[in-house]
């Protein structure tokens, strides 16, 4: 059975995944002479850098998501289907999905990455990831539900399991989560839960490397550590979580922490679709590509973003798995596909590193630009502006801005709701 998509004289570009990379190339090709087919398991694009604010009840999920159909409703050459690709058949130039077969002339794989538990099945079973809006909502529900349960627990040790939180991973996600939780502990919980002693609530950040924000400058790393320690976060560097049984996190230094919630932000590994040549799968389950994003050992198949491993002079070990790489690769590949229609030579991809940043909390952030670094309120303001303008949709921008202003003026998030999905259909 084939997916019901009209046949066309145009060459068909099938894009698997509507994250930053897939969306970037789809938008660029929407006005081209290609037929574009976008496949994604969700019907919306998710703005991943702000998942943690959904988890911390600072933003509505809808304000960081944007429907694909609304985005492409005016482009008659773009077709979207909600489905998952089960396998690729390069020899037949088609993908097999849960809806049926889909032929392609060009296949773009932009399936991103998933949480990396480094083969630890016990941790994978019990820890909480945060790689989607759904997982962020589940984390929000779990945190708020545990505070409610803690009100009825009389034993100190049992109560610690409900109120203490362990975050594993000291990259931007872990640092931003720890800062948001510290602010919630200081400003929100004393008002919402006056019966709980906030002094009992501990936030632990466990980092396996000797510094936080390993990809950023020493100044930014050290300042982020100082900010978190000022906010009361207990940071352990050069330490790993070896085991987590759902009740205790066992650390490599021999210590153990009682907590019902371990949030895993320690790394990512590439998602996988069967059917690609084995030689194309490399470090971190990424797909080896050349400077044109062509997958090694495959014809007319390309990989973009987190799933792509490309070496260039300035990045001999591959590019960082960040949004800007995905966006720029999508734009370059789209330009090259347009060049094919004009029978022009392709241009190699070269990453323009515009810098990196992370926020730790109110008026606290760190920013690394190619030529210099800065911290504090100016960095925090830059972080807000960059993320605000990157969100899709004017309405979403307005809602996020209003939420941020309200939170800043009142020291209060307004979205502390426990919402559980319930229904008869899966």
- Three-class secondary structure assignment of 241-293: EEEECCCEEEECCCCEEECCEEEECCCEEECCCCCCCHHHECHHHCEEECCCC
Q: What is the per-residue pLDDT for 410?
A: 87
Whole-model pTM: value is: 0.93
C-alpha 118: how far from chain center:
18
Which sign does the torsion angle of CA 140, 146, 151, 157 carry?
Answer: negative
For the chain, 426 residues long, give each residue's pLDDT as a single digit of tens: 889 999 999 999 999 999 999 999 999 999 999 999 999 999 999 999 999 999 998 898 999 999 999 999 999 999 999 999 999 999 999 999 999 999 999 999 999 999 999 999 999 999 999 999 999 999 999 999 999 999 999 999 999 999 999 999 999 999 999 999 999 999 999 999 999 999 999 999 999 999 999 989 999 999 999 999 999 999 999 999 999 999 999 999 999 999 999 999 998 999 999 999 999 999 999 999 999 999 999 999 999 999 999 999 999 999 999 999 999 999 999 999 999 999 999 999 999 999 999 999 999 999 999 999 999 999 999 999 999 999 999 999 999 999 999 989 888 876 788 887 665 544
Q: Is 120 left (phi over 0), alpha (psi -120 to 50) or beta?
A: beta
Taking alpha carbons only, the member of 147, 226, 150 closest to residue 192 is: 147
Task: Return the number of other C-beta atoms located less than 10 Å from residue 33's C-beta.
Answer: 11
Region for residue 310 given its phi and psi (left: phi exceeds 0; alpha: psi -120 to 50; beta: otherwise)? beta
Structure tokens at 38: 């976008």
All domains of the chain in start order, with CATH: 12-115+269-341 (3.50.50.60), 121-266 (3.50.50.100)
| CA triple 401-405-410, angle to 5 deg | 150
């Amino acid at each position: 059975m084939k997916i019901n998509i009209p046949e066309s004289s145009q060459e068909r570009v099938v894009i698997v995944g509507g994250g930053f990379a897939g969306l970037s190339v789809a938008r660029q090709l929407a006005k081209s002479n290609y037929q574009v087919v976008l496949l994604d398991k969700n019907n919306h694009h998710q703005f991943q850098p702000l998942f943690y604010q959904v988890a911390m009840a600072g933003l509505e999920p809808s304000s960081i998501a944007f429907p694909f159909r609304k985005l492409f409703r005016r482009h008659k050459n773009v077709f979207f289907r909600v489905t998952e690709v089960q396998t690729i058949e390069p020899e037949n130039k088609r993908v097999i999905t849960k809806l049926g077969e889909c032929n392609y002339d060009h296949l773009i794989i932009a399936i991103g990455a998933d949480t990396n538990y480094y083969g630890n099945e016990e941790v994978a079973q019990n820890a909480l990831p945060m790689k989607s809006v759904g997982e962020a909502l589940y984390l929000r529900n779990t945190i708020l539900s545990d505070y409610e349960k803690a009100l009825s627990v009389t034993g100190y040790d049992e109560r610690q399991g409900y109120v203490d939180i362990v975050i594993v991973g000291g990259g931007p996600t872990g640092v931003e989560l720890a800062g948001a939780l510290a602010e919630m502990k200081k400003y929100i919980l004393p008002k919402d839960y006056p019966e709980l002693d906030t002094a009992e609530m501990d936030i632990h950040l466990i980092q396996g490397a000797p510094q936080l924000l390993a990809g950023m400058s020493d100044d930014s790393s050290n300042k982020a550590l100082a900010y978190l320690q000022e906010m009361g976060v207990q940071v352990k560097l050069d330490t790993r979580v070896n085991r987590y049984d759902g009740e205790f996190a066992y650390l490599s230094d021999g210590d153990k922490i009682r907590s019902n919630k371990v949030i895993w932000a320690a790394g990512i590994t590439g998602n996988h679709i069967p059917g690609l040549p084995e030689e194309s799968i490399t470090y971190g389950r990424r797909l080896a590509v050349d400077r044109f994003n062509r997958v090694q050992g495959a014809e007319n198949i390309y990989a973009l973003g987190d799933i792509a491993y490309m070496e260039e002079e300035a990045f001999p070990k591959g590019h960082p798995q960040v949004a800007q790489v995905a966006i720029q690769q999508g734009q370059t590949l789209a330009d090259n596909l347009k060049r094919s229609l004009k029978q022009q030579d392709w241009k190699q991809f070269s990453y323009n590193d515009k810098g990196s940043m992370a926020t730790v909390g109110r008026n606290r952030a760190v920013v690394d630009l190619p030529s210099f670094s800065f911290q504090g309120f100016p960095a925090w303001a830059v972080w807000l502006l960059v993320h605000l303008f990157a969100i899709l949709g004017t309405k979403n921008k307005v809602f996020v801005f209003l939420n941020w202003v309200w939170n800043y003026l009142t020291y209060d998030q307004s979205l502390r709701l426990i919402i559980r999905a319930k229904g008869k259909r899966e």
